[in-house]
Protein backbone atom coordinates (compact mmCIF):
# COMPACT_ATOMS: atom_id res chain seq x y z
CA UNK A 1 0.00 0.00 0.00
CA UNK A 2 2.76 2.40 0.99
CA UNK A 3 6.25 1.75 -0.34
CA UNK A 4 9.48 3.66 0.07
CA UNK A 5 12.21 2.81 -2.39
CA UNK A 6 15.67 4.31 -1.92
CA UNK A 7 14.13 7.35 -0.24
CA UNK A 8 16.11 10.28 1.11
CA UNK A 9 15.13 13.54 2.75
CA UNK A 10 16.87 16.60 4.11
CA UNK A 11 15.86 20.00 5.45
CA UNK A 12 17.61 23.06 4.05
CA UNK A 13 20.12 21.05 2.04
CA UNK A 14 21.23 18.99 5.04
CA UNK A 15 20.66 15.28 4.44
CA UNK A 16 18.73 13.66 7.27
CA UNK A 17 18.56 10.17 5.81
CA UNK A 18 19.06 8.49 2.47
CA UNK A 19 18.43 5.25 0.62
CA UNK A 20 15.61 4.07 2.92
CA UNK A 21 13.35 1.31 1.70
CA UNK A 22 10.34 -0.23 3.37
CA UNK A 23 6.84 -1.41 2.54
CA UNK A 24 3.64 -1.28 4.55
CA UNK A 25 1.56 -4.24 3.39
CA UNK A 26 -2.04 -4.96 4.43
CA UNK A 27 -2.15 -6.42 7.94
CA UNK A 28 1.50 -5.59 8.73
CA UNK A 29 2.60 -4.16 12.08
CA UNK A 30 5.76 -2.04 12.30
CA UNK A 31 7.50 -0.10 15.00
CA UNK A 32 9.83 2.69 14.00
CA UNK A 33 12.33 3.58 16.67
CA UNK A 34 15.55 5.57 16.91
CA UNK A 35 17.06 8.52 18.75
CA UNK A 36 15.36 11.88 19.01
CA UNK A 37 16.00 13.86 15.84
CA UNK A 38 16.78 10.77 13.73
CA UNK A 39 13.86 11.60 11.44
CA UNK A 40 10.98 9.36 12.56
CA UNK A 41 8.34 12.08 12.18
CA UNK A 42 9.85 13.07 8.84
CA UNK A 43 9.63 9.48 7.62
CA UNK A 44 5.96 9.33 8.64
CA UNK A 45 5.31 12.58 6.78
CA UNK A 46 6.80 11.04 3.63
CA UNK A 47 4.44 8.06 4.07
CA UNK A 48 1.35 10.29 3.97
CA UNK A 49 2.74 12.66 1.32
CA UNK A 50 2.96 15.64 3.65
CA UNK A 51 6.57 15.87 2.43
CA UNK A 52 8.01 14.88 -0.93
CA UNK A 53 11.17 12.75 -0.98
CA UNK A 54 14.28 14.55 -2.18
CA UNK A 55 15.66 11.22 -3.41
CA UNK A 56 14.08 7.89 -4.36
CA UNK A 57 10.39 7.16 -4.69
CA UNK A 58 7.37 6.94 -2.38
CA UNK A 59 4.52 4.91 -3.85
CA UNK A 60 0.98 5.12 -2.46
CA UNK A 61 -1.27 2.33 -3.70
CA UNK A 62 0.88 1.90 -6.78
CA UNK A 63 1.16 5.58 -7.66
CA UNK A 64 4.27 7.72 -7.39
CA UNK A 65 3.48 10.26 -4.65
CA UNK A 66 5.68 12.92 -6.29
CA UNK A 67 3.58 12.76 -9.46
CA UNK A 68 0.18 12.92 -7.72
CA UNK A 69 -1.88 16.11 -7.87
CA UNK A 70 -3.59 17.52 -4.78
CA UNK A 71 -6.84 15.64 -5.36
CA UNK A 72 -5.02 12.33 -5.74
CA UNK A 73 -3.03 13.00 -2.56
CA UNK A 74 -6.25 13.88 -0.71
CA UNK A 75 -7.85 10.63 -1.89
CA UNK A 76 -4.84 8.56 -0.85
CA UNK A 77 -4.78 10.27 2.55
CA UNK A 78 -8.33 9.15 3.23
CA UNK A 79 -6.94 5.65 3.35
CA UNK A 80 -4.33 6.68 5.94
CA UNK A 81 -5.19 7.53 9.55
CA UNK A 82 -2.56 9.62 11.29
CA UNK A 83 -2.20 10.06 15.05
CA UNK A 84 0.05 13.11 15.29
CA UNK A 85 2.64 13.53 18.01
CA UNK A 86 1.05 16.72 19.38
CA UNK A 87 -2.56 15.56 18.75
CA UNK A 88 -4.07 18.99 18.27
CA UNK A 89 -7.80 19.57 18.24
CA UNK A 90 -10.15 22.41 17.47
CA UNK A 91 -10.54 23.50 21.07
CA UNK A 92 -13.90 25.23 20.61
CA UNK A 93 -15.57 22.07 19.29
CA UNK A 94 -16.61 19.15 21.48
CA UNK A 95 -14.60 15.94 21.37
CA UNK A 96 -17.32 14.18 19.33
CA UNK A 97 -17.22 16.83 16.59
CA UNK A 98 -13.42 16.77 16.53
CA UNK A 99 -13.53 13.01 15.99
CA UNK A 100 -16.05 13.42 13.15
CA UNK A 101 -14.05 16.14 11.36
CA UNK A 102 -12.16 13.85 8.92
CA UNK A 103 -15.51 12.41 7.78
CA UNK A 104 -16.95 15.88 7.27
CA UNK A 105 -13.85 16.97 5.34
CA UNK A 106 -14.21 13.88 3.13
CA UNK A 107 -17.81 14.95 2.41
CA UNK A 108 -19.25 11.94 4.23
CA UNK A 109 -21.72 11.66 7.06
CA UNK A 110 -22.00 9.37 10.01
CA UNK A 111 -25.55 8.21 9.32
CA UNK A 112 -27.39 7.88 12.61
CA UNK A 113 -24.23 8.48 14.60
CA UNK A 114 -23.56 4.74 14.72
CA UNK A 115 -19.84 4.92 13.86
CA UNK A 116 -19.20 7.67 16.36
CA UNK A 117 -21.03 5.88 19.16
CA UNK A 118 -19.14 2.66 18.54
CA UNK A 119 -15.80 4.44 18.29
CA UNK A 120 -16.37 6.42 21.48
CA UNK A 121 -17.25 3.24 23.35
CA UNK A 122 -14.23 1.44 21.86
CA UNK A 123 -11.77 4.11 23.06
CA UNK A 124 -13.65 4.54 26.36
CA UNK A 125 -14.67 8.16 25.82
CA UNK A 126 -18.46 7.93 25.74
CA UNK A 127 -18.77 10.08 28.86
CA UNK A 128 -16.33 12.68 27.50
CA UNK A 129 -17.97 13.10 24.08
CA UNK A 130 -19.51 16.47 24.88
CA UNK A 131 -16.45 17.97 26.56
CA UNK A 132 -14.04 20.40 24.97
CA UNK A 133 -10.53 19.07 24.18
CA UNK A 134 -8.72 21.27 26.75
CA UNK A 135 -10.75 19.49 29.47
CA UNK A 136 -9.30 16.07 28.57
CA UNK A 137 -6.38 14.31 30.25
CA UNK A 138 -3.30 13.34 28.20
CA UNK A 139 -4.48 9.73 27.82
CA UNK A 140 -7.98 10.83 26.87
CA UNK A 141 -6.54 13.16 24.21
CA UNK A 142 -4.48 10.33 22.76
CA UNK A 143 -7.53 8.06 22.59
CA UNK A 144 -9.61 10.85 21.01
CA UNK A 145 -6.82 11.35 18.45
CA UNK A 146 -6.87 7.63 17.67
CA UNK A 147 -10.67 7.68 17.26
CA UNK A 148 -10.34 10.67 14.91
CA UNK A 149 -7.65 8.84 12.91
CA UNK A 150 -9.85 5.78 12.34
CA UNK A 151 -13.31 7.35 11.85
CA UNK A 152 -12.87 7.16 8.04
CA UNK A 153 -11.95 3.48 8.33
CA UNK A 154 -8.45 3.86 6.83
CA UNK A 155 -6.35 0.92 5.62
CA UNK A 156 -3.17 2.20 7.29
CA UNK A 157 -2.67 3.78 10.74
CA UNK A 158 0.46 5.87 11.32
CA UNK A 159 0.94 6.81 14.97
CA UNK A 160 3.70 9.22 16.02
CA UNK A 161 4.69 8.67 19.66
CA UNK A 162 1.11 7.83 20.62
CA UNK A 163 2.17 7.04 24.17
CA UNK A 164 4.53 10.00 24.55
CA UNK A 165 3.11 11.69 27.64
CA UNK A 166 0.95 9.06 29.24
CA UNK A 167 1.47 6.51 32.00
CA UNK A 168 2.24 2.85 31.43
CA UNK A 169 -1.28 1.59 32.03
CA UNK A 170 -2.72 4.02 29.50
CA UNK A 171 0.09 3.17 27.03
CA UNK A 172 -0.93 -0.46 27.28
CA UNK A 173 -4.54 0.45 26.65
CA UNK A 174 -3.64 2.40 23.52
CA UNK A 175 -1.40 -0.40 22.33
CA UNK A 176 -4.28 -2.85 22.76
CA UNK A 177 -6.47 -0.62 20.58
CA UNK A 178 -3.79 -0.47 17.89
CA UNK A 179 -3.33 -4.25 18.00
CA UNK A 180 -7.12 -4.68 17.64
CA UNK A 181 -7.05 -2.47 14.54
CA UNK A 182 -4.24 -4.59 13.13
CA UNK A 183 -6.27 -7.77 13.77
CA UNK A 184 -9.02 -6.19 11.69
CA UNK A 185 -6.52 -6.19 8.81
CA UNK A 186 -5.18 -2.67 9.00
CA UNK A 187 -1.48 -1.94 8.59
CA UNK A 188 -0.08 -0.19 11.67
CA UNK A 189 3.15 1.78 12.00
CA UNK A 190 4.04 3.22 15.41
CA UNK A 191 6.98 5.61 15.85
CA UNK A 192 8.17 5.40 19.44
CA UNK A 193 11.15 5.78 21.76
CA UNK A 194 9.55 3.39 24.19
CA UNK A 195 11.36 0.07 23.98
CA UNK A 196 9.21 -1.39 26.77
CA UNK A 197 6.12 -0.71 24.67
CA UNK A 198 7.72 -2.57 21.76
CA UNK A 199 8.56 -5.52 24.00
CA UNK A 200 5.02 -5.58 25.39
CA UNK A 201 3.57 -5.57 21.88
CA UNK A 202 5.76 -8.40 20.67
CA UNK A 203 4.00 -10.76 23.08
CA UNK A 204 0.76 -10.17 21.17
CA UNK A 205 1.61 -9.34 17.58
CA UNK A 206 4.23 -10.25 14.98
CA UNK A 207 5.72 -6.78 14.78
CA UNK A 208 8.73 -5.74 12.72
CA UNK A 209 10.97 -3.25 14.44
CA UNK A 210 12.80 -0.73 12.26
CA UNK A 211 15.50 1.45 13.74
CA UNK A 212 16.36 4.78 12.18
CA UNK A 213 19.82 5.88 13.13
CA UNK A 214 22.61 7.91 11.55
CA UNK A 215 20.59 8.30 8.36
CA UNK A 216 20.00 4.59 7.87
CA UNK A 217 17.02 2.30 8.47
CA UNK A 218 17.85 -1.10 9.91
CA UNK A 219 15.82 -4.02 11.09
CA UNK A 220 16.27 -4.26 14.87
CA UNK A 221 17.72 -7.45 16.30
CA UNK A 222 16.12 -10.13 18.44
CA UNK A 223 16.93 -8.12 21.60
CA UNK A 224 13.73 -6.17 20.91
N1 LIG B 1 10.44 21.84 9.22
C2 LIG B 1 11.71 21.59 9.55
N3 LIG B 1 12.69 22.44 9.15
C4 LIG B 1 14.00 22.19 9.46
N5 LIG B 1 14.41 21.15 10.18
C6 LIG B 1 13.48 20.28 10.62
C7 LIG B 1 12.10 20.46 10.33
N8 LIG B 1 11.40 19.44 10.89
C9 LIG B 1 12.32 18.65 11.52
N10 LIG B 1 13.56 19.16 11.35
C11 LIG B 1 14.81 18.57 11.86
O12 LIG B 1 14.96 17.29 11.28
C13 LIG B 1 15.47 16.37 12.26
C14 LIG B 1 14.51 15.19 12.35
O15 LIG B 1 13.29 15.61 12.92
P16 LIG B 1 12.10 14.58 13.19
O17 LIG B 1 11.03 15.33 13.91
O18 LIG B 1 11.76 13.88 11.94
O19 LIG B 1 12.84 13.55 14.19
P20 LIG B 1 12.25 12.47 15.19
O21 LIG B 1 13.11 11.25 15.05
O22 LIG B 1 10.79 12.31 14.95
O23 LIG B 1 12.50 13.16 16.59
P24 LIG B 1 11.70 13.00 17.99
O25 LIG B 1 11.88 11.57 18.40
O26 LIG B 1 12.42 13.95 18.89
O27 LIG B 1 10.28 13.38 17.72
C28 LIG B 1 15.64 17.15 13.54
O29 LIG B 1 17.00 17.54 13.66
C30 LIG B 1 14.74 18.34 13.36
O31 LIG B 1 15.22 19.46 14.06
- The model's pLDDT over 55-68, given as tens digits with 9 standing for 90+, comes to 999 999 999 999 99
ipTM beyond cut 0.85:
yes
Are 133 and 161 contacting, i.e. CB atoms less than 8 angstroms apart? no
Q: Whole-angstrom Cα distance, residue 219 to residue 128? A: 40
Q: Which residues form the pocket of ligand 1, taking CB atoms under 6 Å from any ligand atom? A: 11-12, 16, 34, 36-42
Query: Which of the given ranges, 7-11, 175-179, 219-223, has the highest pLDDT on average?
Result: 7-11
Share of the chain above pLDDT 70, in %: 98
pLDDT in tens, 21-55: 999 999 999 999 999 999 999 999 999 999 999 99
Nearest-atom number in ligand 1 for the CA of 38 is: 21
CATH class of the structural domain 1-79+155-224: alpha beta
User: Looking at residue 24, what is its pLDDT?
Assistant: 96
Distance 41 CA to ligand 1 centre (A): 7
Distance 149 CA to ligand 1 centre (A): 22
User: Looking at residue 139, what is its pLDDT?
Assistant: 87
Instruction: Tell me the average pLDDT across 69-89.
Output: 91
Nearest-atom number in ligand 1 for the CA of 45 is: 18
Nearest-atom number in ligand 1 for the CA of 193 is: 25
pLDDT in tens, 107-147: 888 777 788 998 899 889 999 999 999 999 988 998 999 99
Instruction: Tell me the average pLDDT across 145-167.
Output: 89
CA distance readout (Å), 103 to 1, 75, 190: 21, 12, 23
pLDDT in tens, 166-215: 888 888 888 998 999 999 999 999 999 888 889 989 888 899 999 999 99
User: Looking at residue 222, what is its pLDDT?
Assistant: 60
CATH 3.40.50.300 boundaries in the chain: 1-79+155-224
User: Looking at residue 100, what is its pLDDT?
Assistant: 93
Amino acid sequence: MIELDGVGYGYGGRTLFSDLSMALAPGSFHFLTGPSGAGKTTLLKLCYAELTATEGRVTLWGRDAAAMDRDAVALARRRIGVVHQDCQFLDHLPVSENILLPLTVAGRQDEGGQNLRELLAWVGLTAQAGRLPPELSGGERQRAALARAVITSPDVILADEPTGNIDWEMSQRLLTLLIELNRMGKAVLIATHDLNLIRAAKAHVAARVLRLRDGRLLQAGADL
